[in-house]
Structure 1
Amino acid sequence: MYYATIISPVADVRSEPRFESERESQLIFGESVKITGYYNDYAGVICNDGVHGFIKKTQLGEYKVKRYKTSRHLMLKKIKMPFSAYIDDDDISNYNIPEDSIEPVNKKREPFEMAMDFLTVPYLWGGTSSFGFDCSGFTQRLFRYNNIEIPRNSEQQREFSAMVNGLDEARPNDLVFFKGHVGLYIGDMKIVHANGHYGGVTVTDLSDGSEYSRYLISIMLKIGRIKANVRV
């Protein structure tokens, strides 16, 4: 096995080496992946979070260590660059990436503050990018920006996180787990989450008494806390 780097804005990780198969996850520009073999137009891969799947060979390039990351979603002339894409000096020059949209890879920002920049980003099953998120892809991307790697799906994230004794003790950046769903706690009984109910990233006040909030509370399973400097 060896490593390769994603060279397209976003690359679907498919369950089988064909376009019609399920999207298991996504990787974005500059992320690295292990190659396990080749299957016609696809490469078998193992992602850094342990997800196995297949990516189109045309979306893979030579492995490179990246020094920077994009701090926001960019609509450039040559490319649409997602939030948290990993880039180097050549990428900055080739795509004319503005300096105020670049941060060192070790730069950290509060996930609950970053999350508010993605309100209305569409919901996308298997999505992990600012083109479209699913619930756990959204939380994973926010923590990954801070060099904290958490598992890919909500059930794994729930098992991975430390228990918090209820919403009364929840702090911003805690994860609120529901049956088949996860949101990021932002304080005052509110979560921000990528959800199919509204078709995108939204804020939900769990104390507002709405039918949706009551439903979420009825299927709540756990409040989880992610410790800094943890890896999958």
Structure 2
Amino acid sequence: MEYGIGMLSVVPMRAETSDKAEIVTQLLFGECYEVVAKEGNWLCLQLTTDGYRGWIDYKQHTPVSETYYQEWLQAKHPRVLDILGFVQQQEVQIPVGIGSYLPFFDGQNVRINDSFLAYSGRSSAISDAVTTAHLTALATCFLKFPYLWGGKSVFGIDCSGFTQQVFGICGYQLPRDAYQQVLHGEEVHFVTQAQPGDLAFFSNAEGRIVHVGIVMEEQKIIHAHGEVRIDKLDHNGIFNNDLMRYTHNLRIIKRISF
């Protein structure tokens, strides 16, 4: 088995072995993975964080030893809190966005295999104490991030990538897709009982979960729809004031316990 780690700010993971193929998710800096298949100049990765699979160009693969990989699995790693920061590798600066991983960060350096790279920006604390105020304040840091199918970074993010990153920074690992995330947490039966930090899920005409966002104060929701934005939420769904219409039909609200 081969293992690797993200050493670029973001790497697209695709559905097929082509640069034209759909982006299914992204590999962030500091995120470990297994190489599960090879085809020509393409590698199929399985992310350690959420088990998601996709293909990357072999040139964007950075191998790590099995020992390092196993150490990475056992440790809790702080995440980047700055919208955009830099990790210093000798004379080269690697841009890292909010949510990127800082493996084995000691307050000054991250460790990749046997190499140490400097980081001087803000990072999340490894703590079990998470408040809804902290979670919703963190969510607003993502405002105006552009929507990108399969994205989970400052350079483009989708609805479930957004919720996964916010909860992940707070220490709770959600699955990648909305239809998987809805299986987590306890149901909140009425929208009037929803609390900030709850996850609201929305379905299409066939009843399939296709969208997710985070409940805010005053019956509002923050979600990725064109961009990360805040809209009104009621028992019908999301009402977009710019468009003056409902854009998503509410299906269920879930509450995650940390």
Query: In structure 2, how many angstroms separate the alpha carbons of the residues matched to 1:82 and 1:57?
Result: 22
Candidates 55, 68, 74, aligned match of 2:84: 74
Query: Cα gap change, 1:70/1:8 in structure 2, threshold over 3 Å: closer, same or farther?
Result: same
Q: After TM superposition, what 4+ stretches of structure 1 lie above 6 angstroms from structure 2?
A: 91-95
Query: In structure 2, how many angstroms separate the alpha carbons of the residues matched to 1:14 and 1:62?
Result: 19
* Displacement after TM superposition at 1:147 (Å): 2.5
* Displacement after TM superposition at 1:22 (Å): 0.8
Query: Cα gap change, 1:95/1:133 in structure 2, threshold over 3 Å: closer, same or farther?
Result: same
* Displacement after TM superposition at 1:160 (Å): 2.8
Q: Deviations over 1:183-214 (max 9, x none)?
A: 1001210111111xxx2111112267848575
Which residue matches 1:115?
139
Q: Deviations over 1:2-24 (max 9, x none)?
A: 43111111011111122111111
Q: Give, as a single letter, the amino acid of the residue that structure 1 aligns with 2:93.
A: K
Matched, 1:184 2:199: no
Which residue matches 1:162?
186
For structure 1, the 5+ residue unaligned runs are: none
Corresponding residue pairs, total: 223
Q: Give, as a single letter, the amino acid of the residue that structure 1 aligns with 2:135.
A: P
Q: Deviations over 1:84-142 (max 9, x none)?
A: 2122425799765324x134455765321101111111111110112211000000011
* Secondary structure at the counterpart of residue 17 of structure 1: coil
Which residue matches 2:89?
none
Which residue matches 2:24?
24
Q: Give, as a single letter, the amino acid of the residue that structure 2 aligns with 1:85.
A: S
For structure 2, the 5+ residue unaligned runs are: 87-91, 204-209
Matched, 1:215 2:246: yes
Please report the RMSD computed on the Cα atoms of aligned residues, expressed in angstroms.
Answer: 2.6
In the alignment, is the contact (CA less than 8 A) between 2:13 and 2:56 conserved in 1? yes
Q: Aligned residues: percent identity?
A: 30
Between Structure 1 and Structure 2, whose CA radius of gyration is higher? 2
